[in-house]
Structure 1
Amino acid sequence: MIRKIARPMLASVYIADGADTLLNTQAHVEGTEVVLDRIRYVLPRKYAKRISSDPELVTQIIGGTKVGAGSLLALGRAPRLSAAALAAVTVPTILARNAFWETQDSEEKRNRRNGFVTNVALLGGLFITTVDTEGKPGVKWRATKAAQQGKKQVQQALPTKSETEKMTGKASDWFQDTSEKVSEYAHVAQDYVDDNKDDWIKTAKDTATKATGKASAYAHIAQGYLDDNKDDWLKAAQKNTDTAKKGAVKAASKAQEKANFALKVADETTGRAAKKASKNANKLQNQADKSLNKAQKKLKKFNV
C-alpha cells in the first residue's frame, strides 16, 4: 500500500519539472549547453564528437524523459526501469542548475546548495526504487536458487553409491552366468562331435566308394562307345581329306585359268589397255601361284 502512495509522490516532482522544461525550453537551454560542454571535455575526442551539438533538442529529450518515466513510476508500470531512467537524467540537471560552487553570490549559492541537497535526496529515493522488488525475490537470488535447484536435480538423477554397487554386482553376475552357459554349450558340442564322428567318417567313405564305382562304369561305357564308332569316324575323316584335296587342286586350277586368260588378253591388246591388261595378268598369276602353293602344302599335310 505504501508503494502506491510513495511512488506518485516521488514521481510528481519529475513530472512537473519535465513539463516545465518542455513548456519553457529556452530557459533551460543554457544549463544544458554547459553540461554538454563539460561532458565533451571529459570524454575522449572520438566519443565527444558523437555528443549532440543541439542543446535545445537535448533539453526537450530530457524533459520528455522526465514526464514519460515519471508517469510510468506514478502508475506503477515498470517502476524499476522508470526510476533508473529518472536517475540518469537527474544527474545532468543537478550539474546544470545546482552547481553552487560556481557562483560567488551568497544568496544564489545558498539557493543552489538547497536545490543540490534536495535533488540528491530525490536521487537516493530513485536508487531505492530501482532495487525495490516489492517483496519478490531479486534476479541474483533467483539465479542462485535456480543454480542450486539444478545441482540438486542433477545429483538426484545420478545413481547413488549403493545403486552403483548393485548395478556392478548385477553386471558381474550376468557375465559369470553367460560364461558358464558358453562353456556348457561348448562341452555339449564336443560330446556331439565325439559321438557322431565315426558315423560321419563311414558315410564319407561309402559315398567315395559309390562315386568311384560310378566313374569306373562311365569309363567302360565311354570305351565301348569309342570301339563301336572308331571305324565310322576314320572313314568320315578320310572322306573329308579327299574332299579337301580335290578342293585345293580345283582352286589352284581355276586361279591358273584366270591368269592364262588375262595373259592372252594382254597379248592381244595394245597401248594403255595392254599395260593395264598386262598388270592384271601379273596380279592373277601371283594369285594362281599362291593357290598352287597352298594346294601343295595341303597335299603334303594329308600325305603325312
Structure 2
Amino acid sequence: MPETPPRYDDVGRALSRLALAAVFVSGGRHVWQHPDGPAQGAENFLKRCRRAVPLLDRFTDRQLVRANAAVHMTAGAALAAGIAPAASASALVGSLVPTTLAAFPFWTQPEGPQRARQQGDFLKNLALAGGLLAVVVSEGRHSRGAPR
C-alpha cells in the first residue's frame, strides 16, 4: 500500500512542536548546567512555596531548579519527537507556571527598565503557555480520531 503524504496541518503541527520544544530544551540545559543564578532568583518564590508545601523543605533551591530544568529538557525532547505531545505540552505548561512566577515577578518591581524587562519576559512565557495549550488541544483532538 503506498504511503500517504503528510498533510500540511500535520507538518505545521510538527514544526510548531519543534519551535516550542527548542525553547525548553535549550533553556533547561542552560539551567541544568548553571543552576545557581536561577536558584537565587527563585529564592523568595520558593520560600512562599515551602510554607504552602512543607515537603519542599527536603530539597535545596538548587535541586528544585534543576528538577524543573529536567522537566523542561525531557518534556521538551518528547514534544520535539512527537512522543505523547499532549502530555509533554501539559507537563511543560505545569512547569512553566511556577518558573514564570519565580523568575519574572514584575509586579514587585518599581516602575522602570527592570520592571519592563520582567514584564516582557513574563508575557513571552505567557505566549509560550498559549502555544503549548494549543498543542494540547490540537493533539488531543487528533489522537481521538476527530475529523481534521
Q: Which has the higher helix share?
A: 1
CA distance in 1, matches of 2:34, 2:116: 24
CA distance in 1, matches of 2:131, 2:106: 22
SS in 2 for 1:74: helix
Q: How many residues align?
A: 134
1:188-240 CA distance string (max 9 Å, x none)? xxxxxxxxxxxxxxxxxxxxxxxxxxxxxxxxxxxxxxxxxxxxxxxxxxxxx
Matched to 2:42, the amino acid is T
TM-score by length of 2: 0.83
CA distance in 1, matches of 2:129, 2:50: 24
TM-score by length of 1: 0.42
Q: State the match for 1:266 in structure 2.
A: none
Asked if residue 49 in structure 1 is aligned to residue 54 in structure 2, the reply is yes
SS in 2 for 1:50: helix
CA distance in 2, matches of 1:82, 1:110: 31
Q: State the match for 1:145 in structure 2.
A: none
> Equivalent residues in 2 for 1:200-219 (5 A)?
none
Match of 2:89 among 72, 83, 93: 83
Matched to 1:112, the amino acid is Q
Matched to 2:55, the amino acid is R
Q: State the match for 2:8 in structure 1.
A: none
Give runs of ≥4 in structure 1 deviating > 3 Å.
Answer: none
> Equivalent residues in 2 for 1:140-289 (5 A)?
none
User: How much has 1:107 moved relative to structure 2?
Assistant: 0.4
1:141-180 CA distance string (max 9 Å, x none)? 8xxxxxxxxxxxxxxxxxxxxxxxxxxxxxxxxxxxxxxx
User: How much has 1:2 moved relative to structure 2?
Assistant: 0.7
Q: State the match for 2:20 in structure 1.
A: 10
Q: Where in structure 1 are there 5+ consecutive unaligned residues?
A: 142-304
Query: Alignment RMSD, CA only?
Result: 1.7
Q: State the match for 2:142 in structure 1.
A: 135
Q: Where in structure 2 are there 5+ consecutive unaligned residues?
A: 1-10
